[in-house]
Amino acid sequence: MQMGLSLRELAARAGVTASFLSQVERGQSNPSLKTLQAIARTLNVPIFYLLVDDSSENHHLVRRGEGTRSAFATPNVSLEVFSPSPEAQRKMLAFVARFQPGYSEETVPSQQPTEECIIVLSGALLIDLKDGSHILQTGDSITFDGMNIRRLTALNHEEVVYLSFSTPPYV
């Protein structure tokens, strides 16, 4: 509404149907990560703007298991966001992602330069960047510009769990 877009216009720009967006708004359907990225990009907001509840505190404490969990259309991926809401004017996005074995997701690169860091907590993750691919094992990390990410893939036959930080929070 703030952008002056109708539901149909937003849906068309994000590449989804208006009925699907309406179902997401009402909690009757869950978007894929790629769809959520497209919606955030269309609205010109960081993806976590769509994931995190409001917080007006000067600090943001999250106890184990209490991060904002996001449901997606596929059960093969889950995110737990630890950053406060965008209204808190924070400068970093932090989340833990879980990919089931074999899950692969083409990512939507950030539209602005960001510094991102991924730390693999368990499993093996293939990260495709604009300039090459890298396999990260448990304990490995990689830092890169968010404009360069292309795909993330869970390797082998085990769940991949990784911690991700981005500054500024990406769109």
- What domains appear along the chain, each with residue ranges and CATH number? 47-167 (2.60.120.10)
pLDDT higher at 134 or 168: 134
128's tokens: 């495709």
Give the per-residue pLDDT at 145. 92
Give the per-residue pLDDT at 3. 75
116's tokens: 């991102």
Give the per-residue pLDDT at 93. 81
61 — pLDDT class (breaks 50, 70, 90) = low
Q: Is the pLDDT of residue 81 over 60?
A: yes
Sheet holding 68-70, edge to edge: 68-70, 77-81, 93-99, 160-167, 115-122, 141-145
Give the per-residue pLDDT at 49. 67
94 — pLDDT class (breaks 50, 70, 90) = confident
In contact, 80 and 68? CB cutoff 8 Å: yes
